[in-house]
Amino acid sequence: MAEDAASQAKLMTIVANGQPWHVPRESTIADFLGQLALTPGRVVAMLDGTIIPRERFAETRLHEGCRLELVTMVGGG
Amino acid sequence: MTEDLLTIGSRTFRSRLLLGTGKYRSFEEMQQSLETSGTEVVTVALRRLDLSHPGQPTLLDYLDTERYTILPNTAGCKTAEEAIQIAHLAAAMGLPRWVKLEVIPDPDYLLPDPIATLEATRQLVKEGFEVLPYINADPVLARRLQEVGAVTVMPLGSPIGSGQGLLNLPQIQIIIEQARVPVIVDAGIGAPSDAAFAMELGAAACLINTAVAQAGNPVLMARAMKLAIEAGRAAFLAGRIPRRPQAAASSPLTGLVGSPS
């Protein structure tokens, strides 16, 4: 139990693309993508409504309850 | 003869066929269709990244972004604000600073909102975007969009994906007659004859997706569309004969064999 509480304390919940995710505290956007093993070719983020280009993923920290949108290109007309 | 080039804003192209990348049965078919079509501009949509399936093939694995100029669309946006945000996201993604602007509140006929389209165009032009608005075939709206700086106007022939051809023909003709920017017929083209007809009338280009992607053989249809666009363009430049109410013989009417004189 104590161990669970300790690991819980190290995690935070964020909402990414509409779903809740548990990520280590202090994670950056780049850390989150790394955790998911995602290496998208073209991607842009929106963190709580602010656009974050890929170059800033490594320096942009997530926080408890934040809303992250990760957006890419798909087929369209 | 000087080369017949298509200029949209600051960009110049040889091909007058713009292709969508949606609705193909496979990425391989899409890739081959784009190649066969000779297109230089392909549209894409922006959507949430699939976080649950890392490693799954995506559009980007099959789309050579060095070879094609990517034109992001704002499909799915119901308001001017949403469309402006998608344009911002596309630019932040490193895509060219131009956008196929679609503001479509109506899910059944996918008809664009003219007022929101004009508002979003005005705003995006101010921000330095080259805006290619998708519109109903309304000549007055087309003029208003040009006045606020749209680099083209893209009237629909008939509703998106309907394949009904050019139902708005007289209106499209007026738009072409009055336009100072290239007119791109976008949506509704079902067959190469529709595309050729649009080009014969003086459309600068056609934007096609479903008619190729959902054809029995998309790669062959891509070739057919390429030829139709080229044929229609050549016919426009050549100048078609006027329609006449009566026949006019192609062969001489004199020197008929066995005639009395």
Which of B20, B49, B60 faces A77 most closely, judged by CB atoms?
B20
Measured on CA atoms in the order B171, B147, B199, B95, is the torsion positive or negative?
negative
Give me the residues paired with residue A14 across strands.
Answer: A21
User: Residue A6's pLDDT is what?
Assistant: 53
Task: Work out how many domains chain B is built from and give that number.
Answer: 1
- pLDDT tens figures, B64-111: 999 999 999 999 999 999 999 999 999 999 999 999 999 999 888 889
Give me the residues paired with residue B174 across strands.
Answer: none
- pLDDT tens figures, B24-74: 999 999 999 999 999 999 999 999 999 988 778 889 999 999 999 999 999
**Best B23, B26, B93 residue to mutate vs chain A (most A CBs within 10 Å):** B93
CB B261 within 8 A of CB B247: no
The span from the CA of B135 to the CA of B132, in Å, is: 9
Which of A17, A37, A75 faces B59 most closely, judged by CB atoms?
A75
Q: Where are the domains of chain A?
A: 2-71
The span from the CA of B44 to the CA of A76, in Å, is: 4
Token pair for B218: 């998309």
The reply to whether B175 falls in a domain is yes
Q: What is the mean pLDDT of residues A11-40?
A: 93
Higher pLDDT residue, A24 or B161? Answer: A24
B259 pLDDT exceeds 90? no
For position B87, which CATH number holds?
Answer: 3.20.20.70
User: Residue A40's pLDDT is what?
Assistant: 72
Residue B211 CA from chain centroid, whole number? 12
Across the interface, whether the CB atoms of A42 and B60 are under 8 A apart is answered yes
Enumerate the residues of chain B whose CB falls inside 8 A of the CB of residue A73. 44-46, 59-60, 63, 70, 72, 93, 95
The span from the CA of B158 to the CA of B194, in Å, is: 11
User: Residue A4's pLDDT is what?
Assistant: 60
The span from the CA of A28 to the CA of B12, in Å, is: 40
The reply to whether B248 falls in a domain is no
Residue type, B94: G
Q: How many CB atoms lie within 10 A of CB B136?
A: 18
User: In Å, how far is A41's CA from the nearest CA of chain B?
Assistant: 7
User: Residue A7's pLDDT is what?
Assistant: 64
User: Residue A27's pLDDT is what?
Assistant: 96
CB B18 within 8 A of CB B71: yes
User: Residue B92's pLDDT is what?
Assistant: 95
**From 3.10.20.30, 1.10.300.10, 3.90.180.10, 3.10.310.30, which CATH number describes the A2-71 domain?**
3.10.20.30
User: Residue A1's pLDDT is what?
Assistant: 45
User: Residue A3's pLDDT is what?
Assistant: 52
A50 pLDDT exceeds 90? yes
Range of the domain at B206: 6-49+58-237
Higher pLDDT residue, A7 or B183? Answer: B183
User: Residue B42's pLDDT is what?
Assistant: 98
CB B216 within 8 A of CB B182: no
The reply to whether B255 falls in a domain is no
B162 pLDDT exceeds 70? yes
CB B24 within 8 A of CB B43: no
Residue B226 appears among annotated catalytic residues: no
The reply to whether B1 falls in a domain is no
Model ipTM? 0.88
The reply to whether B181 falls in a domain is yes
The span from the CA of B133 to the CA of B117, in Å, is: 7
Q: What is the mean pLDDT of residues A57-61?
A: 96
The reply to whether B103 falls in a domain is yes
Q: How many CB atoms lie within 10 A of CB B138?
A: 18
Measured on CA atoms in the order B25, B85, A39, B52, is the torsion positive or negative?
negative
The reply to whether B260 falls in a domain is no
CB B47 within 8 A of CB A74: yes
**Best A15, A48, A57, A74 residue to mutate vs chain B (most B CBs within 10 Å):** A74
- pLDDT tens figures, B165-215: 999 899 999 999 999 999 999 999 999 999 999 999 999 999 999 999 999
pTM for this predicted structure: 0.91
Judging by beta carbons within 10 Å of its beta carbon (0-12, 13-18, 19+), is residue B159 exposed, middle or buried?
middle
User: Residue B1's pLDDT is what?
Assistant: 60
CB B24 within 8 A of CB B50: no
The reply to whether B192 falls in a domain is yes
The span from the CA of B5 to the CA of B150, in Å, is: 19
Across the interface, whether the CB atoms of A75 and B54 are under 8 A apart is answered no
